[in-house]
Amino acid sequence: MAIVPIYPHTFDYANERGESAAWRESVEASSACVKDIDKAVHDSYLGEYRYDLNAAAKTVIEAHGYERVNHVLAHILINCSYDGRYSHNNKDWARELGVAPDRHIYCDTHPAVLDGFIDAVRKANRAVFLEVVGLHEQGRHMAARNRLTWFHRDMGEYRANPGVSDARLMARYGEIMEMKLAKEQKRIEAATPEKVYGYEIKKSVCFSNNRGFAFAHNPNAVSPYVTWQFTEESGGVRDYYWGKYFSKKEPAVKNYHKRVRDYREDYPTLTEKPSNYLRNAEMSVEQNYNMLDGAINNTPPEAVKASERPSAVGKLEAAIQAVKESSAKVSPEKGARDKKPPSLERG
């Protein structure tokens, strides 16, 4: 089930900016979450007014994600702020989340039972957030004054420092997961093979004069194998030319090695440049091509207003499936834009 990102604004705000479809999709996802909450609580009934609310909370969180469940429960509490059957502690928690008012979210579960369900959700949230944040802070050897957690050696668990709210823990958790997602994306992009004119580069060698040769394959082409010479321009962008096309792999591989060997003989003083394994990742995320130096994203991206940026946890949950699917796809053609096709000389 795909996680729908939360739209953090009101309908009037969305309508003014032509984003009513995103608002409506988010409301529909919230309505589905409310129905699943009612069902999970109902199914957890053990008899004699007893419920397994911890199991119900786990079921709903697994189906909709932490942020959607928190978003829905916070709205219910805000809409029912007058109801004394909800605890003041839970109402304060809802206000800390700072959700936009939405009168479309209500629940049929009895308030007293739902208040217990909210306690179970917050407990589950806190356990996960403390574990992730605590391990991150320990791994980074953060100073005690900057940490939100401390480790209880006798109990073998992380606990929040005094005064640290659930909202602060959730925000730190979102930042950490966003960093992990970015790291995974870079790993996938770095492992993605380069494509030129529909051909996937299988082998390449570049010399110290920024000239080199490449062997590539395109199973859908009339001549599926090709060898090119290329020039590596400033910033690492490669210009491919003098292509020789082949219908079979063996003669293409022989031609590639021959071209490399002949070039070495013609220019014996040249040395082979080490390959930059981050080159493909940099090509897709750098702000300018003159900074392909093995360090990702030298120039910071343009700042985005916090009110217009999706929340970290929602962004993670909505993108994680797309990230997995992207690992099976090849990256867009790099270094081949606005360039004439290579010559059609055949071997």
pLDDT by residue, tens only, the chain of 347 residues: 567 888 888 888 888 888 888 888 888 888 899 999 999 999 999 988 889 999 999 999 888 888 889 889 988 998 888 889 999 989 988 888 777 666 777 888 999 999 999 999 988 888 888 888 888 888 888 888 888 888 888 888 888 888 888 778 888 888 888 888 888 777 766 666 678 888 998 889 999 999 999 999 999 999 999 999 999 887 678 899 999 999 999 999 999 999 999 999 999 999 988 765 445 444 444 444 444 444 445 554 454 444 455 555 555 556 656 655 655 554 444 444 444 455 545 44
Domain shared by 207 and 89, yes or no: no
Q: Report yes or no on 158 lying in a domain.
A: no
Last residue of a domain, one of 79, 105, 126: 126
- Say how far apart CA 339 and CA 60 lie, in whole Å: 52
Q: Report yes or no on 17 lying in a domain.
A: yes
List of residues 6+ apart from 77 with CB closer than 8 A? 86, 90, 91, 93, 94, 118
- Say how far apart CA 300 and CA 167 lie, in whole Å: 27
Domain shared by 70 and 199, yes or no: no
- Say how far apart CA 13 and CA 101 lie, in whole Å: 12
Q: Report yes or no on 116 lying in a domain.
A: yes
List of residues 6+ apart from 3 with CB closer than 8 A? 64, 65, 68, 314, 317, 318, 320, 321
- Say how far apart CA 116 and CA 90 lie, in whole Å: 10
Domain shared by 119 and 200, yes or no: no
Instruction: Using alpha carbons only, give the angle 92, 95, 96 rounded to the nearest 5 degrees.
Output: 90
Q: Report yes or no on 19 lying in a domain.
A: yes
Domain shared by 218 and 100, yes or no: no
Domain shared by 223 and 342, yes or no: yes
Domain shared by 334 and 199, yes or no: yes
What pLDDT is stored for residue 304 in this prediction?
47
Last residue of a domain, one of 126, 143, 169: 126
Q: Report yes or no on 145 lying in a domain.
A: no
Domain shared by 111 and 236, yes or no: no
- Say how far apart CA 130 and CA 137 lie, in whole Å: 10
What pLDDT is stored for residue 150 in this prediction?
86
Q: What are phi and psi of 309, to 5 degrees?
A: -95, 135
Rg (CA), the chain: 28
> Structural domain of residue 292, as residue ranges?
193-347
Domain shared by 118 and 249, yes or no: no
Domain shared by 205 and 322, yes or no: yes
Last residue of a domain, one of 126, 145, 177: 126
What pLDDT is stored for residue 320 in this prediction?
59
Q: Report yes or no on 333 lying in a domain.
A: yes
Q: Report yes or no on 162 lying in a domain.
A: no
Domain shared by 100 and 226, yes or no: no
Tell me how far CA of residue 108 lies from CA of 7, 52, 78, in angstroms: 23, 18, 15
CB 194 within 8 A of CB 206: no
Domain shared by 218 and 308, yes or no: yes
Q: Report yes or no on 142 lying in a domain.
A: no
- For residues 291, 296, 300, 302, the Cα torsion angle rounded to the nearest 10 degrees is 100
What pLDDT is stored for residue 331 in this prediction?
46
> How many distinct structural domains can be found in the chain?
2
Domain shared by 203 and 340, yes or no: yes
What pLDDT is stored for residue 26 in this prediction?
87
Helix segments in 80-151, DSSP class H: 88-97, 111-139
